[in-house]
Amino acid sequence: MQKLLIIDDNDEILRQLKWGLSKSNYELIFARDGEEGLKLFKKHSPPVVTLDLGLPPHENGIGEGLRCLGEMLRMDPTAKIIVITGNEEKDAALQAVRLGAYDYYKKPVNLDELKVMVDRAMYLQNIESENQELRRKTVNESGIVGECARMQVVFNQIDRVAASDVPVLICGESGTGKELVARAVHEKSLRADMEMVPINCGAIPENLLESELFGHEKGAFTGANKLVKGKVEYADKGTLFLDEIGEMPMTLQVKLLRFLQEMVVTRVGGRKEIPVDVRIITATNIDIQKAMEEGTFREDLFYRIGVMTINLPPLRERGEDIELLANYFLKSVSVGQRTASKRFSEEALACIKGYEWPGNIRELENRVKRAVIMATGPEIMPEDLGMKGDEPLRQKLQTNDISLKDARFLLERDMVENALEKFSGNIVKAAASIGVSRPTFYDLMKKHGLKSS
């Protein structure tokens, strides 16, 4: 039986709810004040709660009720909390909904109506739980979220290459999750109990990169006050992950090639050859074939690091994975920041699915984090994501992949918006400037979601 927590200090209402809901399919839990309610909420994790806003010690106010609402949503952002208020407390009820309450019900209590509301909340909670379980199952055992056909190819490649020690090259645009794939290969390998040591070849100046990789002896150069081991030595018996290897200078490519051929390290300023046992995984966001043709990347090095190549698709080519990832990040961010559960509006989802995502998964995650902070209500709107409702259309316009109808829509919106800006929100002048009547201009503003100020 699903649990229903009822928090109310009114004996008559408690008796009424206990009698009226006793034959329901719910396990009823009762609390008479906020502290007791919070303890029972933490203990039983009920999916649905009815909460009287006027709780002791301030029965005539709403402060204690709103405090309990906030605490419960911090403990479980997915809980459906129905606030019960007096007729004169509509503004308080709306405030509670803005803070994350599922709905509100005005006294006096009509059991049939309240039961319908509770049943609906329970049903919605069940649906959300099933969707959450489905999303959980779509997270590959490697910790990577994805269902599309191209990601299934990636998952299969990870499984095939993990058990061997062959070098792996991961190719993909910036933000597609190359380090996640590298870690997945390492954690599925026979070296999983040892370290995976990452180094970003594009983030370290050329004069420091050799020392970072191979280490240096004391006195090797000015400031070298002690012996320092390099990343390669620290990765001994484990995995060395060379991110953005396409940015590695040519002089260092030669030294890396020698290391890969002989598996020995010579520290900067030293003569001793130190044998190491590491697996090499590399990644790049550049076109490695083009780099070889242009002479900026050694062909013999490529054949050493690219025994197996995994190509990660950009987010724009992953179809329904875009919405799946957006909801996954939304849930993760809400839980991590202990904020009330939010959902994407239809307009926001349309923007998410229509956007090209040049920054790929990293950009999507950052925009969702921003949206959770910026959204003032339970629904996330395009502006919370830092998007405009017409952004997907504008991207299509840039690539000439747009219909005449959509092009007219954008032109119309720009003319109305520019007229409003030019005449500082003066509707009469703005309407006259584009040759339409004032009522028509108001209709255009409403159509495009524009305001006069």
Query: Is the pLDDT assigned to residue 393 strictly greater than 60?
Result: no
450 vs 174, more confident: 174
pLDDT score of 449 more than 80: no
Largest CA distance in the chain: 88
- Angle at CA of residue 279, ends 274 and 282, nearest 5°: 115
| Tens-place pLDDT, residues 241-261 | 999 999 999 999 999 999 999
User: What is the pLDDT at residue 131?
Assistant: 63
Residue with tokens 């260092």: 252
- Each residue of 121-133: pLDDT tens digit? 988 888 777 666 6
Rounded to whole angstroms, what are the CA distances from 422 to 61, 305, 413, 419, 448? 48, 58, 14, 5, 17
Cβ atoms of 441 and 425 within 8 Å: the answer is no
Asked if the model's pLDDT at residue 106 lies above 80, the reply is yes
Encode pLDDT of 49-64 as tens digits.
999 988 888 777 788 8
Confidence of residue 440 (pLDDT cuts 50, 70, 90): confident
pLDDT at residue 283 above 90? yes
pLDDT of amino acid 335? 74
What is the pLDDT confidence band of residue 418, given thresholds at 50, 70 and 90?
confident
Output the six-digit token pair for 135.
Answer: 């999303």
pLDDT single digits (tens) 271-282: 899 999 999 999
pLDDT at site 137: 53
pTM of the model: 0.62
Based on its alpha-carbon atoms, the radius of gyration of the chain, rounded to whole angstroms, reads 30
Q: Are 90 and 57 in contact (CB under 8 A)?
A: no
CB-CB contact of 281 with 240 (8 Å)? yes
> What separation in angstroms does the CA of 397 have from each of 249, 373, 417?
39, 31, 18
pLDDT (average), residues 348-352: 84
Helix-helix angle 321-336:346-354, to 10 degrees: 120
pLDDT of residue 397: 60
**Tokens 């319908």, residue located:** 116
**What residue has token string 């076109």?**
287
Q: Which two tokens stand for residue 215?
A: 């280490």
Give the span between the Cα atoms of 336 and 332, in whole angstroms: 6
Share of the chain above pLDDT 90, in %: 43
With 80 as the cut, is the pLDDT of residue 419 above it?
yes
Q: Of the candidates 196, 227, 203, 205, which has an alpha carbon nearest to the alpha carbon of residue 214? A: 227
Q: Are 315 and 362 in contact (CB under 8 A)?
A: no
- CA 368 and chain centroid, separation: 5
